[in-house]
Structure 1
Amino acid sequence: MQSMDASETALTRVWRYAAGRPLLLDMLLALVLAFAVLRAAADDRATNGDVIVAGVAFVAVLIRRLRPLAALGIATSATIGAILQGVSNPGLIVALGVITYSIAAHTDRRKGWVCALAASGFVYLTGLIVAAEDWWRGETLGIFAWIFMAAAVGDAARTHRAYVAEVEERARRAEQTQEDEARRRVMDERLRIARELHDVVAHHIAVISVQAGAAAHVLQRRPDQVGPVLNHIREASDTVLKEIQSVVGVLRGADERETTEPAPGLARLPELLATLETTGFPVRLRQVGEARELPAMVDLAAYRIVQEALTNAHRYGDGSAQLLVEYTPDDVVLQVSNRMRAAAQKGAGYGLLGMRERAAAAGGSVTACPVGASVFRVHAVLPAEHA
């Protein structure tokens, strides 16, 4: 009993090893069929013809993957020859079924069924030539059933492989899509953080720069008034540090809501204008329409656009600006205008780019360009309702 189990285990290992090597598997299968043909012939005193039949079966099965149609032709011709010579050997019929299976499993459905019909048809017609009166006997019909069953199994195997391949391809595409989406979100988040840092830092650094210049001027002419100017510099420095910590806290904290304060919106415009007023940069505000609550993204984008536009006006303008905030039924319109200094230096352009990106992300638009010879205007239109 143990020896039988050991032999079965060894046979299983051999079969698994051969299953991963198609050519070796075909050789083993061809040898098994040739041996079956010879053994069946040996029971009836094998002849040279039987040896030839075994060789034909071996060759046909061996080349079934490389030349499937040629293998089918060889097996069919050998079967027809055996029937005409009165040789009855089931090994050839088995080989014919194996080759039919291979064609159906590795080609398209139409070719598989056509080959099965052609092979069984030729064998059946040969049987009619030899014994026309026995067309209905079970052996003849059994050949039909065997060949078409092999074609059906091969077609099912091909369909199953195609289904598995499609499922694997869909899984691969889904995984690739998830990776692309994750990569896109990372890039969007990096851009958002960079834009936020630019808007936060640029405004307050501009205020510090202007106040530092004013401090140097006041220190030379009126030293007793340098204190308030330095106090403005200190307040602006504290504010920019707090806002940088707030933005960086998003990167360190697991929950953005727990690490950041509420995002600024147009409700904080008076605070922004008051800060600019203390630095000697008055802004005349004109509001048209009744203020109302805006979507969070739109409210933040509106505040940052106004902040960046006023920062640029403070840095490159002549010392004042006009701000228009107009609420329409569908949009909120923001417009910042200031006179340009003739000797103003041109910036890097990241502020204008950031304004356009913020507006586009919120579903709006921004235009920034000179109006006439000496006025620069930033005009933004943002949707006041959810898209």
Structure 2
Amino acid sequence: MINLLERYAERHARAADVVTAVALCVCTLFGAQISTSESSPPNALWPAWILVVSSAAVLACRSRPRATLAVTATAAAVLTALGYLPSPLLLAPVMTALYWLAALTDSRTTALYGSATMAVLVATSLAAAPLGDDFILRTVGTVLWLLLPVSLGGSSRFRRAYLESVKARAVHAERTREEEARLRVTEERMRIARELHDAIAHHMAVAHAQAGTAAHLADTHPEQTRGILTDLVGTTSSALLELRATVGVLRQTADPDTDPLEPTPGLDRLPALVAGCESAGLSVTVSTEGEAQPLSPGVDLTAYRIIQEALTNATKHASDHAARVRLRYEGARLLITVTNDGTANGGAAPPVPGGGYGLMGMLERAHSVGGDLRAGLRPEGGFEVAATLPFQPRTPAKAPTDPPPDAPAGPRHEETR
């Protein structure tokens, strides 16, 4: 019932204030009739107008709580100075004004105005009857009755502030969930785009090189041409399989990691990757230092994709048609370097219309598992990609900040070659 009344009062504030003012006027009229042997209120009608004015002032308690308290306190002080007993009924307008002051303002303002009101009312009441039997009623009683609305108003203010904070936290949580959902969608789109680029771009580059080599040797070396064309069929088939696997993820309703369409590529497929590059005319040398350690699936895939993208760039741009891949297992890290001794156009990477995302994708992959990557031109000529990957993935915040050994002196990220 109380909650219903509160909701009605919030929706119809003006009607609630009018009803409150009328009720207070009735209360004060009854309060003016209460007296003791020491209290001697005047036998006149004009104090009734003070009661009416005091009750009517409550209509402005929501918009002007300080002014309302000043009017009601002045009216109560005049009545107590005339000898009226400061009963709860007579003090009802002041108590209502104190409640709204405590509910709508801060604690410091409430304490200042509340203490001043109590002091004025007690002083005027004692001036009318200083040493009567109702001394305690005029002093302690007045203070206690005025403290009651102050405490209730303060509780209402704290409750309203708590509800507002809860609502603000709920809005913030909802906004955070929406932002997190958008971030996850963006990350998933980036992951799929990276997979498509790494898989398809490599196979298409190798296929393009194989087709060019076959066309060049078709007349003079038919047997070698047939072998290259056979490799070209395998390259395009691998491209189609990886394209189907990546696009198939978009059609799955369950978690794509729970039921992959084909095994995730890793360093165990490095020989097939090297063979495909060699059939395209790129001579690849692979060396391993240290004892090979098992890698987590995410790190294994990242290592494979970095080598794949680096060899793709070497296939397209290395003027010496040779590349070296070095894997070094050191401590809890795998150090990967892919180098070539020369590039086209006198050692500068050829411009790519519109730019590209190869090096950016490698850098993002390395950071996603807590590793690091550097790529750039070598001082002695050629190009080098150097990556440091942990055996087990970790957050980028915990990733080592030291650059990989033998890293090129170029920038961390350059335009895709």
Would you call these one fold, judging by a TM-score over 0.5? yes
Q: Structure 1 residue 369 and structure 2 residue 376: aligned? A: yes
Q: Distance in 2 between matches of 1:151 and 1:240?
A: 78
Q: Structure 1 residue 208 and structure 2 residue 215: aligned? A: no
Q: Distance in 1 between matches of 2:302 and 2:6?
A: 68
Q: Could you say what secondary structure the match of 1:280 adopts?
A: coil
Cα pair distance change 1:305/1:41, threshold 3 Å: same
Deviation at 1:21, TM superposition (A): 3.6
Q: Distance in 2 between matches of 1:37 and 1:385?
A: 80
Q: Distance in 1 between matches of 2:185 and 2:6?
A: 50
Identity value in percent = 37
| Range with bigger deviation, 60-69 or 272-281 | 272-281
Q: Does structure 2 conserve the Cα–Cα contact (< 8 Å) formed by 1:57 and 1:92?
A: no
Partner of 1:54: 51
What 5-or-longer segments of structure 1 have no aligned partner?
Answer: 1-8
Partner of 2:273: 272
Cα pair distance change 1:264/1:66, threshold 3 Å: same
Q: Structure 1 residue 358 and structure 2 residue 365: aligned? A: yes
Deviation at 1:350, TM superposition (A): 1.4
Higher helix residue share: 1
Q: Could you say what secondary structure the match of 2:135 adopts?
A: coil
Partner of 1:127: 125
Deviation at 1:140, TM superposition (A): 5.0
Q: Does structure 1 conserve the Cα–Cα contact (< 8 Å) formed by 2:30 and 2:89?
A: no
Task: Give the paired residue count.
Answer: 377
Partner of 2:300: 299
Q: Give runs of aligned pairs for residues 54-73 of structure 1, distance below 5 A.
A: 54-73=51-70
| Range with bigger deviation, 135-144 or 43-52 | 43-52
Q: Distance in 1 between matches of 2:4 and 2:285?
A: 89
Give the AA of the match of 1:339: D
| Range with bigger deviation, 364-373 or 133-142 | 133-142
Cα pair distance change 1:133/1:87, threshold 3 Å: closer
Partner of 1:111: 109
Cα pair distance change 1:359/1:19, threshold 3 Å: closer
Q: Distance in 2 between matches of 1:386 and 1:358?
A: 11
Normalised by the length of structure 1, the TM-score is 0.88
Q: Distance in 2 between matches of 1:116 and 1:199?
A: 74
Give the AA of the match of 1:155: G
Q: Distance in 1 between matches of 2:263 and 2:382?
A: 34
Partner of 1:342: 344
Partner of 2:285: 284
Q: Distance in 2 between matches of 1:242 and 1:352?
A: 24
Give the AA of the match of 1:121: A
Q: Distance in 2 between matches of 1:40 and 1:377?
A: 95
Q: Distance in 2 between matches of 1:177 and 1:78?
A: 53
Q: Distance in 2 between matches of 1:346 and 1:136?
A: 99
Normalised by the length of structure 2, the TM-score is 0.82
Deviation at 1:220, TM superposition (A): 4.1
Q: Does structure 1 conserve the Cα–Cα contact (< 8 Å) formed by 2:55 and 2:72?
A: no
What 5-or-longer segments of structure 2 have no aligned partner?
Answer: 35-40, 395-417
Q: Distance in 1 between matches of 2:31 and 2:332?
A: 91
| Range with bigger deviation, 216-225 or 272-281 | 216-225
Give the AA of the match of 2:111: W
Q: Does structure 2 conserve the Cα–Cα contact (< 8 Å) formed by 1:75 and 1:92?
A: no
Deviation at 1:13, TM superposition (A): 9.0
Q: Distance in 2 between matches of 1:75 and 1:30?
A: 12
Q: Does structure 1 conserve the Cα–Cα contact (< 8 Å) formed by 2:76 and 2:90?
A: yes
Deviation at 1:64, TM superposition (A): 1.6
Partner of 1:330: 332
Q: Could you say what secondary structure the match of 1:258 adopts?
A: coil
Deviation at 1:47, TM superposition (A): 5.1
Q: Give runs of aligned pairs for residues 1-387 of structure 1, distance below 5 A.
A: 17-38=8-29, 48-87=45-84, 91-134=89-132, 136-138=135-137, 140-223=139-222, 225-253=224-252, 254-256=254-256, 257-317=258-318, 318-343=320-345, 345-347=350-352, 348-372=355-379, 374-387=381-394
Q: Does structure 2 conserve the Cα–Cα contact (< 8 Å) formed by 1:101 and 1:151?
A: yes
| Range with bigger deviation, 346-355 or 324-333 | 346-355
| Range with bigger deviation, 133-142 or 26-35 | 133-142
